[in-house]
Amino acid sequence: MSQPYRSKTLQLGQQSIHTLVRPGQGHLTPLLICNGIGANLELLLPFIEALEPEVEVIAFDVPGVGGSSTPLTPYRFSGLARLVARLLDALGYEQVHALGVSWGGALAQQFAHDFPTRCRKLILAATAAGGPMLPGTPKVLWAMASRRRYNDPDYVMRVAPQVYGGSFRQHPEQALAFAAKARSGSKVGYYWQLFAGLGWTSLHWLHRLRQPTLVLAGDDDPLIPLLNMRLLAWRIPHTELQIIDDGHLFLITRAETVAPRVMAFLREERQPAVIHPRPAGA
């Protein structure tokens, strides 16, 4: 890693949360990253390393993943958003930019909605608005129903092209490097994450979000088809939509391309006022 990171496990009530902070060298608002389902924070390191050192970055493992403890009972995104606010309090951050990828995009939306003064800008990568989303194929969704792709190298090589798309179609061996950084969380923790998204949707309040928002979408994403990202960009005011030539994990596989776009958005002072037509089929 290019510079020292601060790793800390916080005790928030009965829940312990593993965190990682890359100190910043500038005056930008810190960037909080909410990761995907079953994904430990170490999987984000290629993207974090590609971000310029002036921005401070905060990553964490959600309950039941990586170095965080597994709660005894399930949770919803609203409860997890409150936990994130407590986490920021414990780390000493009043306001952050929030970036959510895939499942973590739902958490980022919920945090921006429930704690608007603490979320200055919102970045949504390869995610959706929940319930009314256009889903991937049944085969893709079935592969996502378990955490096996994080701890079975043969399995991840087999399913990566159909689940993640993009560069994994031509180079499925990339999935091995991805899986090698995974820390297997508990099976219960993974099911709690699935439960958090059951019946959840942001579609009815997206229009009330006032944060400048950057929506990043892969043009070959079998898990979150592109129409879902167009719907987010249409529903959220002050939104800029950018399409990446890759699949679901473009944040990692195209880190050197995506990171400069994120940095440019974080530096932008004015609110983007991009008007999007109603997406076909929405």
Mean pLDDT of 10-19: 96
Residue 219: which residues within 8 A CB-CB, separation 6 or more? 226, 243, 244, 245, 246
User: What's the pLDDT at 276?
Assistant: 46
Query: Would the pTM count as exceeding 0.85?
Result: yes
Q: What is the mean pLDDT of residues 34-58?
A: 94
The confidence score (pLDDT) of residue 279 equals 53
Distance, CA of 40 to CA of 25 (rounded, Å): 25
One of 1.20.1730.10, 2.40.50.1020, 3.40.50.1820, 3.30.43.10 is the CATH number of 6-267, namely 3.40.50.1820
Which residue numbers are catalytic? Answer: 102
Contacts of 213 (CB under 8 A, 6+ apart): 121, 122, 123, 124, 236, 238, 239, 240
- pLDDT exceeds cutoff 50 at 218: yes
Which among 113, 270, 99, 127 has a CA at the least distance from the CA of 197?
Answer: 127
Where do the structural domains in the chain lie, given as residue ranges?
Answer: 6-267
> pLDDT tens digits for 231-258?
999 999 999 999 999 999 999 999 999 9
Residue 240, strand partner residues: 214
User: Who wins on pLDDT, 171 or 212?
Assistant: 212
Contact 219, 193 (CB under 8 A): no
Which is more confident, 52 or 137?
A: 52
Tell me what the mean pLDDT of segment 196-217 comes to.
Answer: 96
Q: Kindly write down the DSSP assignment for every residue of 116-183, as one continuous string.
A: TTTEEEEEEES---BTT-----HHHHHHHTSSHHHH-HHHHHHHHHHHH-THHHH-TTHHHHHHHT--
